[in-house]
Structure 1
Amino acid sequence: MTILSLPDGRSLEYLVDGPADGLPLVLHNGTPSAASLYPPIVTAAARHGLRVVTTSRPGYAGSTPQPGRTVASVAADVTALLDALGADRFLTVGWSGGGPHALACATLLPGRCAAAATIAGVAPYDAEGLDWSAGMGAENVEEFGAAVAGPEPLSAYLESQVPALAGVRGDQVAAALGDLVSEVDTNALTDAFADYTAGMFRAAVSSGIAGWRDDDLAFVRDWGFDLADVETPVAIWQGAQDRMVPFDHGRWLAAHVPGATVHLDEAEGHLSLVITAFDDIVADLATHR
């Protein structure tokens, strides 16, 4: 784990893994999360000549909170990190709550961001024609209902969830996620992937709820950029068996991100899609390097 000192005085925690001369693949993990890498993801990226770079967004683990941040705020942090790594260009992928952050990079860093992909990425809360919470598991409906109500109700809700994640083990993850996991995702939560997921959840709440809270608030507010302005190549990947980010989010993004390449899979879920499709996702991104 490495700490970068940002121009505004904040600290940004990050990890880099893969070939030293590889083009950076900036990975935006979901919500809640922290800088953590699943080895098969690193291996898949390396096969395509890419090194994976991931951060703990502000407020998570060793990264300084940034109250009031928007989704767009990520672009400045990614820019500072790439400058520190001496990288002029990069690819990016965002999973779940990381999806909007990948789209922010694609929109706000044209030219430098060669291509982006979202995996089960959430759509804007005010997306026209989308019933945003329809099909979500009960836990997400409650969580984002609290986010819409404001910082205080949201903080109270998240604090109540911390004990379940702070000590979670791999064999407990599926139960901890409750109504958020479909059958295909429950089946995916085994062995090393379950241990990785549990470790990421523990790290996500290791310094409190600031990162989780500010992620949720950013999702239900204006993102700070317009998807209609995307000029960077973007691929949308979404599974129909997803109770965290429902299928309609992927369909909405597919229809509203200009020029998007669309991969909608009826058989996959929120977690299983990462396991089964990540090599294909990276292979597609690498064609734009």
Structure 2
Amino acid sequence: MANLSLADGRTLEYRVAGPADGMPLVLHSGTPSAARFHDPMVATAAKHGLRAIAISRPGYAGSTAQPGRTVGSAALDVTAVLDAIGADQFLTVGWSGGGPHALACAALLPERCLGAATVAGVAPYTAADLDWLAGMGAENIEEFGAAVAGSVPLGDYLTAQLPALTDVTGGQVADSLGDLISDVDRRALTGDFADFMAAALRAAVSTGIDGWRDDDLAFIEEWGFDLTTITTPVAIWQGEQDRMVPYAHGRWLATHVPGATVHLEPAEGHLSLMLLAFDAILGELKSWT
């Protein structure tokens, strides 16, 4: 774990693991989450000659909150971390709420980002031709209903969720996610993967709700970049058995990100897709270098 002091006075928490001479792989985690690694994924990255980098977005864990941040703001923080570790070009994967942040890197850092993948990532809330909430579990519908109502109602809603996550264990994490978990995802959420998910959730709320709240607010506003300008190679991965980010989001991104390579998996969910496909995701990204 390392902390980076930024020019605007904020602190940014990040982690690096894998071969020191490996191509940087920036992993954007979901919402809520923080800079934590699932060791088998780090090993898979190393197999592909990639050095994993995870950053706690502002307001999560050791990273200073940045009220009013946009999705596109992530590109500046990624740039700061890459500069700090002496890296230039990189690949990126965004999972779930991390998906838009990976797309931000593709759109805003075209000279440095050689390839991006969004895995079960959300589409823009402002998309006119997408029913954004359709097919989501009850908890997400309630959460984003609060987000649309404003920062204060959202803050009240998220604060009420804190007790369920503050001390959550691997054995409890599936039940804590309630209606957001499909059958295939419940089967995937066991063992060390469940322990990793629980640790990431605990870290995410360890300093309160700021990061979680600001993620949600950023998702429902303009993202700060234009998807149609992306020239970096992008892969879209989405499972049909996903109750956190419905299949329609992946289909929408598939038709709105120029030149995207599309992987729509009818048998996979939000969590199982990442476990099933991570090796293939990295193999495809690495081929673009």
Alignment of 1:205-284 (within 5 A): 205-284=205-284
Deviation of the 1:126 alpha carbon: 1.1
CA distance in 1, matches of 2:79, 2:136: 33
Q: Which string of whole-angstrom CA distances, capped at 9 and with x for unpartnered residues, describes residues 26-69 of structure 1?
A: 00000000000001110111111000001100000000000000
Taking structure 1 as the reference length, what is the TM-score of the superposition? Answer: 0.99
- 1:113 is aligned to 113
> Deviations 1:137-160 (Å, cap 9, x if unpaired)?
000000001001100000000000
Give the Cα–Cα distance (whole angstroms) in 1 for the partners of residues 271 and 119 of structure 2. 9
Q: Deviations over 1:189-210 (max 9, x none)?
A: 1110000000100000000000
CA–CA separation in structure 2 for the residues paired with 1:187 and 1:194: 10
| 1:90-129 equivalent positions in 2, closer than 5 A | 90-129=90-129
In structure 2, C-alpha distance between the alignment counterparts of 1:204 and 1:163, rounded to whole Å: 13
Q: Which residue of 2 aligns with 1:156?
A: 156
1:179-198 alignment, distance < 5 Å: 179-198=179-198
After TM superposition, where is structure 1 displaced by more than 6 Å over at least 4 residues in a row? none
TM-score (norm 2): 0.99
1:19-98 equivalence runs, <5 A: 19-98=19-98
How far apart, in 2, do the equivalents of 1:248 and 1:128 lie? Answer: 13
Provide the alpha-carbon RMSD of the alignment. Answer: 0.5
1:64, 1:126 → 2: CA distance?
27
The one-letter code of the counterpart of 1:279 is: D
Task: Supply the AA of the counterpart residue of 1:237.
Answer: W
User: What is the DSSP-based 3-state SS (H/G/I as helix, E as strand, rest coil) of the residue aligned with 1:107?
Assistant: helix
> What's the CA shift string for 1:251-274, capped at 9, x where partnerless?
000000000000000000000011
Q: Would you say how many aligned residue pairs link Structure 1 and Structure 2?
A: 289
After alignment, is 126-135 or 237-246 more displaced? 126-135
Aligned-partner Cα distance in 1 for 2:236–2:128: 18
Aligned partner of 1:54: which letter? A
The alpha-carbon deviation at position 128 of structure 1 amounts to 2.2
- The secondary structure found in structure 2 opposite 1:171 is coil
Query: What secondary structure sits across from 1:264 in the alignment?
Result: strand
Give the superposition deviation at 1:111: 1.6
Alpha-carbon distance between aligned partners in 1 of 2:114 and 2:90, rounded to the nearest angstrom: 6
Give structure 2 stretches of 5+ with no counterpart.
none
Deviations along 1:237-263, one digit per CA (max 9) or x if unpaired, are: 000000000000000000000000000
Give the AA of the match of 2:178. Answer: G
Give unmatched runs, 5+ long, in structure 1: none
Residue 262 of structure 2 aligns to which amino acid in structure 1? V
Structure 1 SS opposite 2:114: strand
